[in-house]
Structures are given as structure tokens and as C-alpha cells.
Amino acid sequence: MTEDAFWEIIEAAKRESDRCDSQGHAARLQNKLQAQTVEEIVSFQGWIEYFIDCAYTAETHGAHILITDGDGSDDGFLYFRTWLVGQGELLYKSAVADPDLLADRLHAATNPIDQTDGELLRYAASRACQAITKLRDWDEGWPLDYDVIDAFVETQKAQAKTSGGQGAWIDDADLPKRFPRLAAKCEDLWSRIPDRPRNRVMEKNPDGSFVVRYRPADVQGSQRT
């Protein structure tokens, strides 16, 4: 599969899922992939991993910190970068170059984390392979060999002369200056949500269990984990 063919599939799935949640978006991408050969699906997975890797930059990490209200995790950053790829070539490349543009993509319907979680998109190729081959990833003959996919990613990076992970992480205090529009939009959205991440306080009970509380005190009650 060529790079252009990869983006065509991404764009087609995105067009059909503009009014869908993340699960619906992933389902439409899976449907597109099930129309391809197994070899093309494997190639697709190589391309999506490559572009996820290329988005591993100080700028996108800073954007993710703003979007998660300072509570970003490694997995969350991975799913955020997957979401970026799933938005299509134009937005992906524009946002990687200037994440402040993402301010225009966030809306008030739900919190910024849920709006930018592309975890399920990363599994669309695997599910398409399962549907076509009736195999699972532990079965002999499973086509999605991640050693092969990793080698593909490294080859593409070498040809593009990019390594990802560019630059040291930006200090949290500097993020509003670097990305003023995105910072303002995220603060506006999170300010409407009492149980925003930065309001979370974890307290340990005598029995060793934990209670999560949110400031202002107990607006949403407590949640035992």
C-alpha cells in the first residue's frame, strides 16, 4: 500500500464518521480495511504506526498535556497521536507542525480527552484481519507481525530522514505561551467540569483502599478504586 492509498482510506473513514463517536469511527475504518487484501492491511498498519511515531514531538506532547489538564500519560499520548492520524492528512500534518490549530477542533459536547482518544483506530487493522482470516493474534499464521511492522517504520523514518521525539518536553508553565489558543480553549472546556483532572485528590483509607475526591469538595461525590 502506498502512502497516498493509506491516506485515502483514512480520509474515507473520517468522512463517514463525522457524526460518530470513537467507536463508530473505528468501525468505519475497519469496514474500509476489510475491503483490502491481508497484505494491504498489514501495510496499512505499518503506515499508521509510522505516522504515530512521527507525531512523537515536544509540540504534540505539550498539546496533549493541555488537553488532559496536566494529567497526560504515555498511553494517553499514544492514543492522542493515533487520533491525530485518524483526522486525515491535512489536519495531521498541520497539527503536528502547529498544535495550536487544534483549538478549532474541540467543542463543548464532552471533555477534551474523550474528543481526542483514538485508541480504537489503532486496532482497526487487527480486527479487519480477524474478520478476514478468522485467526487471532496468538494463532499460527497471524499476519500482523510487529517485527515486520517495526522494520517498515524504521525504513520509512530512514528514507524521510526523521527520527520522531524531536526536542525536550516543554515545561508545563510555558505551554499557554506556546499554544495560547489551545490553552484557552482547554481551560474554558475544563472549567465547566467539576471533576477535572487537576481537581482530583487521592486519599488512602486505613484498609489500604483509595478514595478519589474532587475539589470543590465532593461535588461529584467519591469513587472507590
What is the pLDDT, as a whole number, of residue 223?
A: 43
The three cell numbers locating residue 56: 512523537
| Contacts of 126 by beta carbon, 8 Å cutoff, 6+ apart | 45, 137, 144
What are the tens digits of pLDDT across the range 130-168? 999 999 889 999 999 989 999 999 999 999 876 555 678
Average pLDDT of the chain, as a whole number: 90
What is the pLDDT, as a whole number, of residue 217?
A: 43
- Collapsing DSSP states into helix, strand and coil, what is residue 217? coil
If you average pLDDT over residues 180-198, what whole number do you get?
A: 93
Q: From CA 141, how far away is CA 72, in angstroms rounded?
A: 37
Q: Tell which residue, 92, 105, 107, has the closest CA to residue 57.
A: 92
What is the pLDDT, as a whole number, of residue 216?
A: 64
- Collapsing DSSP states into helix, strand and coil, what is residue 210? strand
Q: Is the entire prediction scored with pTM above 0.85?
A: yes
Torsional sign, CA 221, 183, 62, 146: positive
In the chain, what percentage of residues exceed pLDDT 90? 75
In the chain, what percentage of residues exceed pLDDT 70? 93
If you average pLDDT over residues 32-46, what whole number do you get?
A: 97
The three cell numbers locating residue 203: 486519599
What is the pLDDT, as a whole number, of residue 220?
A: 44
Q: Tell which residue, 104, 115, 89, 101, has the closest CA to residue 2.
A: 89
What are the tens digits of pLDDT across the range 56-107? 999 999 999 999 999 889 999 999 999 999 999 999 999 999 999 999 999 9
207: confidence class by pLDDT, cuts 50, 70, 90: confident
What is the pLDDT, as a whole number, of residue 213?
A: 72
The three cell numbers locating residue 115: 474528543
